[in-house]
């Protein structure tokens, strides 16, 4: 049976409390507990609608815990493209020749994300492009991680870019050049950052997340058709009465 996020967090907490055990043992133990449980995602958007102000999905990349690419496709937006935003997105007109329709891509991607703990940077933007909300306790946003910011010597409340975290903590340069971002590189970098502080992050989550209710025989949260349930909507949207 697959491990719940809470059991994963408790497991990390136990590993951390064991003191000076080898990092290899920690990594092996974690992987044995939840093989294939984590993925990282990054999306590139183009502009549609009036003046190209709407953001729609044009590429989505997903990597596994090891950083291997398990999904990378160009996506045809539902509305005509007004601005390719190539400087940032890396998307050009030729990429759309073999792009798949949004609905088809959405179905494929949500199937991958089902039951997974999903890592990303400012990941709400990616979920918004997918028209999807992932359960909060199964989401790891590297832009919101106090552990990463502290380790990088940055203020906890600061808005920090993936590029800066990569430079400070991984000593590597990303998002350079004039061809735009690579969603594969960004997803891999987010996963690298997560793995760098995985044990500490999960330990802190174990203390901050409320316990999940007991799962029925069929877990409704594992069904992607439930992703628009109220429980998955951000609290600020709920408060505004939407």
pLDDT band at 29 (very low <50, low <70, confident <90, very high): very low
Instruction: Please name the fold of domain 37-208.
Output: Nucleotidyltransferase; domain 5 (3.30.420)
- pLDDT greater than 80 at residue 239: no
Q: Lowest mean pLDDT: which of 65-79, 106-120, 225-239? A: 225-239
d(CA 25, CA 32): 10
pLDDT band at 73 (very low <50, low <70, confident <90, very high): very high
Kindly report the number of other CB atoms within 10 A of residue 66's CB atom: 11
- The top-scoring range by mean pLDDT among 6-15, 36-45, 203-212, 226-235 is 36-45
Read off the pLDDT of residues 180-206 as tens digits, 9 standing for 90 and up. Answer: 678 999 999 999 999 999 999 999 888
Higher per-residue confidence, 114 vs 228: 114
Confidence at residue 180, expressed as pLDDT on a 0 to 100 scale: 62
Handedness of CA 186, 191, 192, 196 (dihedral sign): positive
In terms of C-beta distances under 8 Å and separation of at least 24 residues, what long-range contacts does 210-219 make, across chains too?
A: 211/6, 212/4, 212/5, 212/6, 212/137, 215/4
Mean pLDDT of 70-97: 93
Q: Lowest mean pLDDT: which of 13-22, 31-40, 169-178? A: 13-22
pLDDT band at 86 (very low <50, low <70, confident <90, very high): confident
- pLDDT greater than 70 at residue 11: no
Picking from 85, 42, 31, the residue whose alpha carbon sits closest to that of residue 184 is: 42
Q: Dihedral angle at the C-alpha atoms of 166, 5, 128, 66, nearest 10 degrees? A: 40
Domain boundaries, the chain: 37-208
pLDDT band at 10 (very low <50, low <70, confident <90, very high): low
Mean pLDDT of 42-49: 94
Confidence at residue 6, expressed as pLDDT on a 0 to 100 scale: 53
pLDDT averaged over every residue in the chain: 80
Confidence at residue 33, expressed as pLDDT on a 0 to 100 scale: 46
Read off the pLDDT of residues 122-177 as tens digits, 9 standing for 90 and up. Answer: 999 999 999 999 999 999 999 999 999 999 998 888 889 999 899 989 988 877 76
């Amino acid at each position: 049976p697959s491990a719940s996020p809470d059991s994963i967090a408790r497991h990390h907490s136990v590993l951390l409390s064991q003191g000076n055990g080898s990092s290899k043992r920690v990594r092996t133990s974690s992987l044995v507990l939840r093989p294939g449980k984590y993925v990282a995602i990054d999306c590139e958007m183009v502009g549609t609608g009036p003046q190209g102000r709407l953001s729609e999905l044009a590429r989505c990349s997903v990597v596994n815990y090891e950083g291997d690419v398990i999904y990378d496709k160009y996506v045809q937006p539902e509305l005509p493209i007004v601005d390719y935003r190539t400087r940032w997105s890396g998307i050009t007109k030729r990429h759309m020749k073999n792009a798949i329709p949004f609905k088809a891509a959405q179905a494929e991607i949500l199937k991958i994300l089902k039951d997974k703990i999903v890592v990303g940077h400012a990941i709400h933007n990616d979920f918004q492009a997918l028209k999807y909300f992932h359960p909060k306790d199964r989401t790891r946003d590297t832009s919101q991680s106090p552990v990463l910011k502290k380790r990088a010597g940055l203020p906890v409340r600061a808005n920090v870019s993936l590029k800066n975290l990569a430079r400070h903590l991984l000593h590597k340069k990303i998002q350079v050049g004039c061809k735009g971002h690579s969603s594969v590189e960004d997803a891999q970098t987010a996963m690298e950052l997560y793995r760098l502080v995985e044990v500490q992050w999960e330990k802190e989550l174990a203390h901050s997340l409320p316990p999940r209710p007991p799962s029925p025989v069929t877990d409704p949260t594992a069904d992607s058709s439930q992703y628009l349930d109220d429980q998955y909507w951000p609290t600020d949207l709920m408060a505004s009465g939407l």
